[in-house]
Amino acid sequence: MSEIESRGYARPEVLVSTDWVASHLQDPSIRIIESNEDPLLYPSGHIPGAVEVDWTRDLNDPLRRDYLGREGFEALMRRIGVSQDTTVVFYGDRNNWWATYAYWVFQLFGHDKAKIMDGGRIKWEKEGRPLTKEVPSYPASEYRASERDDKKIRAFRDQVLEHLKAKKPLVDVRSPDEYTGKKLHMPEYPNEGALRGGHIPGAASVPWAKAINPEDGTFKTSSELRSLYENDAKIKPGDDVIVYCRIGERSSHTWFVLTHLLGYPRVRNYDGSWTEWGNLVGAPIER
């Protein structure tokens, strides 16, 4: 049994170790993808053979506040040489915030041959593993995508309003100061547009970072995670859960934990999150 399997996750196969990635660098059926918050990290050095998927440039519609459509996703996958049979392995900075965000967007198109490198960039670097500045080039694929399906894992503001009226569980994964309304933004970050502070009424506060071990960015064990969400947030495995943060990136990390590591069958990410809710005229807010 691997160290990851020993942690008792519902779906341990969605996580791979840095050792596993190191042993699959030449595997043509694997595409390693780096997704970061800091756009300077990838050009400064990345895992050999890894391609970059930038959340703003590659995953978003260039005009509307929305994700790319089917044709845009096909173009992205063709450009990075990914076919329907390729297993994509995501990693990145900030303890895999943006890696899980990219993973979540890929799931909107049903590309479920996808994994996260446990520990992300920080663990790879701490172990002194190789980094390169060489940008790889792969033959273009002929990827065919399904239409984007938002129903199962994505929530919109009207659905959140219905959810809150029905007193169903919500998890706010932002920092405590954002949750209480003391701050309109993440610690050490500028304000990004929310006019009101606070949280959606009834939402439990479980900051996303509580799910990881701060020394190496790896995910905590299933028993530790269950204690965190089932005791602290009082949610149960069969619950219909919506998670949110500021723009959906930190909450995609919590979505990944609840969905794959704990096996919750009904978890949606509200990517409009606080930048939308904190600006909605008449939306209920608690402090």
Q: What pLDDT was estimated at residue 184? A: 79
Q: What pLDDT was estimated at residue 191? A: 61
Q: Which residues contact 222 (CB under 8 A, 6 or more apart)?
A: 7, 8, 9, 10, 261, 262
- What is the tens place of the pLDDT at every residue in 6-53? 999 999 999 999 999 999 999 999 999 999 999 999 999 999 999 999
d(CA 231, CA 110): 32
Q: What pLDDT was estimated at residue 34? A: 98
d(CA 178, CA 287): 10
Q: What pLDDT was estimated at residue 195? A: 82
Which of these, 54, 47, 44, 52, lies nearest to 80 by C-alpha position? 52
Q: Which residues contact 6 (CB under 8 A, 6 or more apart)?
A: none
Which of these, 256, 271, 272, 208, lies nearest to 99 by C-alpha position? 256
pTM for the full predicted model: 0.96
Q: Low-confidence residues of the chain, pLDDT below 70?
A: 186, 188-193
Query: Coil, strand, or helix at residue 93?
Result: helix
> Can you name the residues that pair with 60 across neighbouring β-strands?
67
Is the Cα torsion angle 12, 18, 23, 26 positive or negative in sign?
positive
Active site residue 132: no
Give residue 248's region: left, alpha or beta (phi > 0; psi -120 to 50). Answer: left
The continuous run of DSSP H or E covering 172 comes out as strand 170-172
Q: What pLDDT was estimated at residue 81? A: 98
Is 171 in contact with 208 (CB distance < 8 Å)? no
d(CA 242, CA 245): 11
258-264-265 Cα angle (round to 5): 130
> Can you name the residues that pair with 286 across neighbouring β-strands?
199
**Please, where are the H alpha helices in 11-129?**
18-23, 41-44, 55-59, 70-79, 93-108, 120-126
**Active-site option among 14, 15, 245, 257:** 245
